Amino acid sequence: MPPVPLAACRDLPSSVTVPAVIYLDHNATTPVLPEVFEAMRPYFCEEWGNPSSAYRFGSKLKGVIEAARAQVAELIGAQPREVIFTSCATESNNAAIHAALKANPRKRHIVTSAVEHSSVLNYCMALQRDGYRVTYLPVDRDGLLKLVDLESAVADETAVVSLMWANNETGVLFPVKEIAEFCRGRGVLYHCDAVQAAGKVEIDVRKVQADYLSLTGHKFHAPKGIGALYVRWKAPFSPLVHGGHQERGLRGGTECVPLIVGTGRAAELARQQLPEYGKRVRSLRDALEEEILSSIPNTELNGHKTERLANTTNITFHGVESEALLILLDQEGICASSGSACLADSDEPSHVVKAMKRESAASREMIRLSFGPANTGTDASGALNALRRSTQMLRG
């Protein structure tokens, strides 16, 4: 059933009943789908053996893992042997950069951007303390990356370029195909953090020829605690996590079979539903965004109008502190954020919006709203009215 359109929100009275929870933070995490949970359940309760065991009760689970690996590979157009399961996106991002640096120990230069996820930025800053040189590419006021800046930054000593597919705070899309082609032409390894893109846009590593590409299950309705890393066949790779022979010796540690199975099933569903995803969420996102910008004074969109994910809007409410606004929204059952969930306990402004609009206070006065396929026009209407009441109250 298609979502109810967001119509005439401007005329809705402020007394409209808001549901107990309106979840508009799908870029932070997504609910586990019932089909995903049912696929996982047997491997918690009945088939709980260790895949590394010699006896059949455990060893038969190797086939289950390989089936899930094939499902994840199909989501991104890869071969199953090119997919390594990890614990999360942070591990996948770190492992990719680590592998590229190990492959070229004499090259001690990394190129990334000022708006990457903290798992990339903080690792790069740690590497700087170890003597590596890092170039942080700027973005413009719309959050877009200029290829000319990348071309100017890459040098003979560059070991890896790490640039994301879609920004987690604004949804802005980077020109990943062109980035991959440039890196391949220069003989530089390219890592792409595709965590926010998976399940929202088509990913085909045969077209976007990254050497490494990071995913995590909980962004596309799998459980938390499970990620994946695509490593292009014959791309160099050295394990970040050393241990046993698991993952063909590329990532040690006993496999969490239920979470791997859940990620495989979620990837299968995401691939099936991708053609309809954008249609479902974009209409709601656009309608709510338009109403906020037109009916709430002193608001401003952060991010390019069209070159972004269909589900994401990031808006500055000038004169209103993000933290105060989120507290009031939470009291009305609205789940939103002021940026990456990984930095939710930090009082620092959004580094993404700060990089886009250095001269303004927008990075301390913004919130992100990110839709999922289950959201409806009623959700959007409730969020709009809550935003109206909250901003009016905070502005006195």
- Euclidean distance between CA atoms 183 and 163, whole angstroms: 11
Q: Which domain holds residue 300?
A: 9-32+275-394
- Euclidean distance between CA atoms 301 and 321, whole angstroms: 16
CATH code, domain carrying 93: 3.40.640.10
pLDDT bin (cut points 50, 70, 90) of residue 267 is very high
Is 256 in the same domain as 170?
Answer: yes
pLDDT averaged over every residue in the chain: 93
Domain membership of residue 24 (yes or no) is yes
Residues near 395 by beta carbon (within 8 Å), at least 6 away in sequence: 319, 320
Asked whether the predicted pLDDT for residue 341 surpasses 80, the reply is: no
pTM of the model: 0.91
pLDDT bin (cut points 50, 70, 90) of residue 355 is very high
pLDDT bin (cut points 50, 70, 90) of residue 293 is very high
Q: How many domains does the chain have?
A: 2
pLDDT one-digit tens code per residue, 223-265: 999 999 999 999 999 999 999 999 999 999 999 999 999 999 9
Domain membership of residue 3 (yes or no) is no
Biggest distance spanned by C-alpha atoms of the chain: 69
Is 260 in the same domain as 179?
Answer: yes
Active-site pick, 9, 88, 124, 342: 342
371 compared with 338, residue with greater pLDDT? 371
- Euclidean distance between CA atoms 143 and 259, whole angstroms: 34
Q: Can 342 be counted among the known catalytic residues? A: yes
pLDDT bin (cut points 50, 70, 90) of residue 127 is very high
Residues near 109 by beta carbon (within 8 Å), at least 6 away in sequence: 132, 133, 134, 135, 155, 157, 158, 159
Domain membership of residue 1 (yes or no) is no
Is 241 in the same domain as 279?
Answer: no
Domain membership of residue 4 (yes or no) is no
The whole-number pLDDT of residue 3 equals 36
The crossing angle, in degrees rounded to 10, of helices 89-103 and 118-129 is 40
Phi, psi (deg, nearest 5) at residue 106: -85, -10
Task: Look at residues 55, 59, 50, 75 and name the one whose alpha carbon lies nearest to residue 256.
Answer: 50
Q: Which of 270, 287, 314 is the last residue of a domain?
A: 270
Is 213 in the same domain as 179?
Answer: yes
What is the number of other CB atoms lying within 10 angstroms of the CB of residue 279? 12
Is 333 in the same domain as 284?
Answer: yes
Task: Look at residues 151, 118, 119, 124 and name the one whose alpha carbon lies nearest to residue 136.
Answer: 124
